[in-house]
Structure 1
Amino acid sequence: MDNQDLQKLVEDISLRFFNKPFRHIAFFNSRLRTTGGRYMLKSHDIELNRSYLEQLGEQELIGIIKHELCHYHLHLEGKGYQHRDHDFKALLKQVDAPRFCSTLPNRPEKKSSTTIRVYKCSGCSQLYRRKRRIDLSRFVCGKCRGKLVEIHV
Protein backbone atom coordinates (compact mmCIF):
# COMPACT_ATOMS: atom_id res chain seq x y z
CA MET A 1 0.00 0.00 0.00
CA ASP A 2 1.39 3.41 -0.93
CA ASN A 3 0.32 6.90 0.15
CA GLN A 4 -2.27 7.22 -2.65
CA ASP A 5 -3.97 3.97 -1.61
CA LEU A 6 -3.85 5.13 2.02
CA GLN A 7 -5.43 8.49 1.10
CA LYS A 8 -8.29 6.71 -0.67
CA LEU A 9 -8.76 4.30 2.25
CA VAL A 10 -8.95 7.17 4.77
CA GLU A 11 -11.45 9.06 2.58
CA ASP A 12 -13.61 5.91 2.24
CA ILE A 13 -13.55 5.20 6.00
CA SER A 14 -14.43 8.82 6.75
CA LEU A 15 -17.48 8.71 4.50
CA ARG A 16 -18.59 5.22 5.59
CA PHE A 17 -18.27 5.61 9.37
CA PHE A 18 -18.54 9.37 9.95
CA ASN A 19 -20.72 10.46 6.96
CA LYS A 20 -18.29 13.36 6.49
CA PRO A 21 -15.54 13.88 3.91
CA PHE A 22 -11.84 13.86 4.75
CA ARG A 23 -10.44 16.90 2.94
CA HIS A 24 -6.80 16.81 4.01
CA ILE A 25 -3.78 14.56 3.49
CA ALA A 26 -3.11 11.15 5.00
CA PHE A 27 0.32 9.58 4.59
CA PHE A 28 2.77 7.09 6.07
CA ASN A 29 5.46 8.61 8.28
CA SER A 30 8.46 6.31 8.66
CA ARG A 31 9.72 8.28 11.68
CA LEU A 32 6.79 7.23 13.89
CA ARG A 33 8.04 4.63 16.36
CA THR A 34 5.86 4.53 19.48
CA THR A 35 2.41 5.30 18.08
CA GLY A 36 0.16 3.99 15.34
CA GLY A 37 -0.85 7.38 14.02
CA ARG A 38 -0.95 11.09 14.66
CA TYR A 39 -3.46 13.84 13.87
CA MET A 40 -1.79 17.20 13.21
CA LEU A 41 -3.78 20.07 14.75
CA LYS A 42 -2.42 22.86 12.54
CA SER A 43 -2.40 21.19 9.12
CA HIS A 44 -5.27 18.71 9.85
CA ASP A 45 -3.22 15.96 8.19
CA ILE A 46 -3.02 12.41 9.49
CA GLU A 47 0.28 10.54 9.72
CA LEU A 48 0.28 6.76 10.10
CA ASN A 49 2.89 4.19 11.05
CA ARG A 50 3.46 1.69 8.22
CA SER A 51 4.79 -0.92 10.70
CA TYR A 52 1.27 -1.50 12.03
CA LEU A 53 0.08 -2.45 8.54
CA GLU A 54 3.08 -4.72 7.92
CA GLN A 55 3.12 -6.46 11.30
CA LEU A 56 -0.54 -6.47 12.45
CA GLY A 57 -2.50 -6.22 9.20
CA GLU A 58 -5.06 -4.00 7.54
CA GLN A 59 -7.73 -4.35 10.25
CA GLU A 60 -5.40 -2.84 12.85
CA LEU A 61 -4.59 0.00 10.46
CA ILE A 62 -8.30 0.65 9.88
CA GLY A 63 -8.81 0.89 13.65
CA ILE A 64 -5.98 3.43 13.90
CA ILE A 65 -7.46 5.42 10.99
CA LYS A 66 -10.86 5.52 12.73
CA HIS A 67 -9.18 6.71 15.92
CA GLU A 68 -7.34 9.53 14.12
CA LEU A 69 -10.50 10.48 12.21
CA CYS A 70 -12.27 10.89 15.56
CA HIS A 71 -9.62 13.47 16.51
CA TYR A 72 -9.95 15.07 13.06
CA HIS A 73 -13.74 15.47 12.88
CA LEU A 74 -14.19 16.53 16.51
CA HIS A 75 -11.42 19.12 16.23
CA LEU A 76 -12.91 20.62 13.07
CA GLU A 77 -16.35 20.75 14.74
CA GLY A 78 -14.93 22.53 17.81
CA LYS A 79 -15.80 19.67 20.17
CA GLY A 80 -13.61 17.81 22.67
CA TYR A 81 -11.06 15.93 20.55
CA GLN A 82 -8.57 14.87 23.25
CA HIS A 83 -8.38 11.36 24.73
CA ARG A 84 -9.86 12.49 28.05
CA ASP A 85 -12.89 14.29 26.53
CA HIS A 86 -16.39 12.81 26.72
CA ASP A 87 -17.13 13.67 23.05
CA PHE A 88 -14.04 11.76 21.95
CA LYS A 89 -14.82 8.67 24.01
CA ALA A 90 -18.44 8.64 22.79
CA LEU A 91 -17.43 8.92 19.11
CA LEU A 92 -14.84 6.15 19.53
CA LYS A 93 -17.54 3.86 20.88
CA GLN A 94 -19.98 4.88 18.13
CA VAL A 95 -17.59 3.99 15.27
CA ASP A 96 -15.99 1.04 17.13
CA ALA A 97 -12.50 2.52 17.13
CA PRO A 98 -9.81 1.52 19.63
CA ARG A 99 -8.81 4.05 22.30
CA PHE A 100 -5.18 2.89 22.13
CA CYS A 101 -3.38 0.91 19.45
CA SER A 102 -1.86 -2.52 20.04
CA THR A 103 1.80 -3.04 20.84
CA LEU A 104 3.97 -4.02 17.91
CA PRO A 105 5.40 -7.55 18.24
CA ASN A 106 8.75 -6.67 16.59
CA ARG A 107 9.34 -3.45 18.49
CA PRO A 108 12.98 -2.80 19.42
CA GLU A 109 13.57 -3.23 23.13
CA LYS A 110 14.83 -0.45 25.38
CA LYS A 111 18.19 -0.69 27.09
CA SER A 112 17.41 -2.09 30.51
CA SER A 113 20.95 -2.07 31.90
CA THR A 114 21.19 1.17 33.85
CA THR A 115 24.59 2.02 35.24
CA ILE A 116 24.51 3.00 38.90
CA ARG A 117 27.35 5.32 39.89
CA VAL A 118 28.58 5.38 43.47
CA TYR A 119 30.20 8.44 45.03
CA LYS A 120 31.89 8.63 48.43
CA CYS A 121 32.60 11.68 50.55
CA SER A 122 36.31 12.00 51.38
CA GLY A 123 35.40 13.67 54.70
CA CYS A 124 32.62 11.62 56.35
CA SER A 125 32.53 8.53 54.02
CA GLN A 126 28.85 9.10 53.14
CA LEU A 127 27.87 7.04 50.06
CA TYR A 128 25.69 8.41 47.22
CA ARG A 129 24.17 6.18 44.53
CA ARG A 130 23.12 7.96 41.35
CA LYS A 131 21.97 6.99 37.85
CA ARG A 132 23.32 10.23 36.41
CA ARG A 133 26.90 11.42 36.61
CA ILE A 134 27.68 14.16 39.15
CA ASP A 135 29.95 17.09 38.28
CA LEU A 136 32.56 16.63 41.01
CA SER A 137 33.91 20.17 40.57
CA ARG A 138 30.49 21.68 41.42
CA PHE A 139 28.88 19.38 43.97
CA VAL A 140 29.99 18.48 47.50
CA CYS A 141 28.70 16.23 50.27
CA GLY A 142 25.34 17.35 51.67
CA LYS A 143 26.27 16.19 55.14
CA CYS A 144 29.71 17.72 55.77
CA ARG A 145 30.45 19.74 52.59
CA GLY A 146 33.41 17.42 51.87
CA LYS A 147 34.79 16.57 48.43
CA LEU A 148 33.09 13.71 46.54
CA VAL A 149 35.05 10.92 44.84
CA GLU A 150 33.60 8.39 42.38
CA ILE A 151 34.04 4.77 43.41
CA HIS A 152 34.22 2.20 40.60
CA VAL A 153 32.37 -0.90 41.77
Structure 2
Amino acid sequence: MELRIKSQQANPEAYKAMLDLEQFIVKSGLDKKTYEFIKLRASQINGCSYCIDMHSKDLLAMGESVDRLLLLSAWRETPIYSDAERAVLELTEYATKLSEAGVPDDVYARVRAHFDEKQYVDLLMAISVINAWNRIGVGTGMFPGCF
Protein backbone atom coordinates (compact mmCIF):
# COMPACT_ATOMS: atom_id res chain seq x y z
CA MET A 1 0.00 0.00 0.00
CA GLU A 2 1.34 3.39 -0.95
CA LEU A 3 0.19 6.93 -0.26
CA ARG A 4 -0.85 8.53 -3.57
CA ILE A 5 -0.27 12.13 -2.67
CA LYS A 6 0.29 14.33 0.39
CA SER A 7 -2.61 16.75 0.04
CA GLN A 8 -1.23 19.24 2.56
CA GLN A 9 1.94 19.58 0.49
CA ALA A 10 0.29 19.39 -2.94
CA ASN A 11 -2.22 22.14 -2.16
CA PRO A 12 -1.51 23.93 1.15
CA GLU A 13 -4.32 26.48 0.61
CA ALA A 14 -6.95 23.77 0.26
CA TYR A 15 -5.57 21.99 3.32
CA LYS A 16 -5.69 25.25 5.31
CA ALA A 17 -9.32 25.75 4.29
CA MET A 18 -10.14 22.30 5.70
CA LEU A 19 -8.26 23.08 8.91
CA ASP A 20 -10.24 26.33 9.22
CA LEU A 21 -13.50 24.35 8.95
CA GLU A 22 -12.21 21.92 11.56
CA GLN A 23 -11.43 24.83 13.91
CA PHE A 24 -14.91 26.24 13.37
CA ILE A 25 -16.40 23.00 14.70
CA VAL A 26 -13.93 22.79 17.59
CA LYS A 27 -14.93 26.33 18.65
CA SER A 28 -18.67 25.76 18.12
CA GLY A 29 -19.26 24.37 21.59
CA LEU A 30 -20.04 20.86 20.32
CA ASP A 31 -19.02 18.29 22.93
CA LYS A 32 -15.59 16.90 22.05
CA LYS A 33 -16.53 13.25 22.52
CA THR A 34 -19.69 13.73 20.49
CA TYR A 35 -17.60 15.18 17.67
CA GLU A 36 -15.15 12.27 17.87
CA PHE A 37 -18.03 9.76 17.71
CA ILE A 38 -19.39 11.58 14.65
CA LYS A 39 -15.94 11.38 13.08
CA LEU A 40 -15.53 7.71 13.88
CA ARG A 41 -18.99 6.63 12.69
CA ALA A 42 -18.80 8.58 9.42
CA SER A 43 -15.29 7.22 8.83
CA GLN A 44 -16.54 3.66 9.35
CA ILE A 45 -19.29 4.22 6.80
CA ASN A 46 -16.89 5.81 4.31
CA GLY A 47 -14.17 3.19 4.82
CA CYS A 48 -11.45 5.68 5.72
CA SER A 49 -8.94 3.53 7.61
CA TYR A 50 -6.70 6.50 8.45
CA CYS A 51 -9.58 8.36 10.12
CA ILE A 52 -10.96 5.25 11.85
CA ASP A 53 -7.55 4.66 13.39
CA MET A 54 -7.05 8.31 14.39
CA HIS A 55 -10.47 8.90 15.91
CA SER A 56 -10.53 5.56 17.75
CA LYS A 57 -7.21 6.46 19.36
CA ASP A 58 -8.44 9.99 20.12
CA LEU A 59 -11.53 8.61 21.88
CA LEU A 60 -9.45 6.15 23.88
CA ALA A 61 -7.13 8.99 24.91
CA MET A 62 -10.23 10.90 26.08
CA GLY A 63 -11.10 7.99 28.38
CA GLU A 64 -13.77 6.38 26.22
CA SER A 65 -14.37 2.67 26.79
CA VAL A 66 -13.21 0.03 24.35
CA ASP A 67 -16.73 -1.46 24.35
CA ARG A 68 -18.29 1.78 23.07
CA LEU A 69 -15.71 1.91 20.26
CA LEU A 70 -16.06 -1.73 19.28
CA LEU A 71 -19.86 -1.61 19.28
CA LEU A 72 -20.22 1.70 17.46
CA SER A 73 -21.07 0.12 14.10
CA ALA A 74 -23.90 -1.75 15.87
CA TRP A 75 -25.07 1.15 18.07
CA ARG A 76 -28.73 0.35 17.42
CA GLU A 77 -28.29 -3.10 18.96
CA THR A 78 -26.87 -2.08 22.34
CA PRO A 79 -28.07 0.13 25.21
CA ILE A 80 -24.64 1.66 25.96
CA TYR A 81 -25.35 4.91 24.09
CA SER A 82 -27.60 7.64 25.46
CA ASP A 83 -30.70 8.81 23.59
CA ALA A 84 -28.87 12.00 22.57
CA GLU A 85 -25.88 9.98 21.31
CA ARG A 86 -28.19 7.66 19.39
CA ALA A 87 -29.87 10.66 17.75
CA VAL A 88 -26.47 12.05 16.72
CA LEU A 89 -25.31 8.69 15.37
CA GLU A 90 -28.52 8.30 13.37
CA LEU A 91 -28.15 11.81 11.94
CA THR A 92 -24.51 11.04 11.10
CA GLU A 93 -25.53 7.95 9.18
CA TYR A 94 -28.32 9.63 7.23
CA ALA A 95 -26.28 12.76 6.44
CA THR A 96 -23.30 10.63 5.39
CA LYS A 97 -25.44 8.40 3.14
CA LEU A 98 -27.48 11.37 1.94
CA SER A 99 -28.39 9.95 -1.48
CA GLU A 100 -30.19 6.97 0.07
CA ALA A 101 -32.96 8.75 2.00
CA GLY A 102 -31.93 12.29 2.81
CA VAL A 103 -32.52 13.19 6.46
CA PRO A 104 -36.06 12.02 7.30
CA ASP A 105 -38.34 14.19 9.43
CA ASP A 106 -38.39 11.65 12.26
CA VAL A 107 -34.58 11.68 12.45
CA TYR A 108 -34.62 15.48 12.54
CA ALA A 109 -37.22 15.38 15.34
CA ARG A 110 -35.15 12.93 17.41
CA VAL A 111 -32.09 15.15 17.13
CA ARG A 112 -34.04 18.31 17.90
CA ALA A 113 -35.39 16.69 21.08
CA HIS A 114 -31.83 17.01 22.43
CA PHE A 115 -30.29 19.89 20.46
CA ASP A 116 -31.44 23.42 19.60
CA GLU A 117 -31.33 24.92 16.10
CA LYS A 118 -27.75 26.21 16.38
CA GLN A 119 -26.56 22.88 17.75
CA TYR A 120 -28.36 21.06 14.93
CA VAL A 121 -26.47 23.17 12.39
CA ASP A 122 -23.23 22.55 14.33
CA LEU A 123 -23.89 18.80 14.08
CA LEU A 124 -24.51 19.05 10.34
CA MET A 125 -21.31 21.05 9.92
CA ALA A 126 -19.37 18.46 11.95
CA ILE A 127 -20.75 15.63 9.83
CA SER A 128 -19.94 17.57 6.65
CA VAL A 129 -16.36 18.26 7.74
CA ILE A 130 -15.52 14.64 8.57
CA ASN A 131 -17.11 13.48 5.32
CA ALA A 132 -14.84 15.92 3.47
CA TRP A 133 -11.78 14.68 5.41
CA ASN A 134 -12.79 11.07 4.58
CA ARG A 135 -12.95 11.88 0.90
CA ILE A 136 -9.50 13.44 1.06
CA GLY A 137 -8.15 10.46 3.02
CA VAL A 138 -9.61 7.79 0.76
CA GLY A 139 -8.96 9.78 -2.43
CA THR A 140 -5.27 10.27 -1.61
CA GLY A 141 -4.78 6.72 -0.35
CA MET A 142 -4.14 7.55 3.31
CA PHE A 143 -3.82 4.64 5.73
CA PRO A 144 -2.75 4.27 9.36
CA GLY A 145 0.96 5.00 9.68
CA CYS A 146 1.34 6.44 6.17
CA PHE A 147 3.12 9.58 7.38
With structure 2 as the length reference, what TM-score do the two structures score?
A: 0.29
Larger Rg: 1
Higher relative contact order (CA 8 A, sep 6+): 2
More strand by share: 1
More helix by share: 2
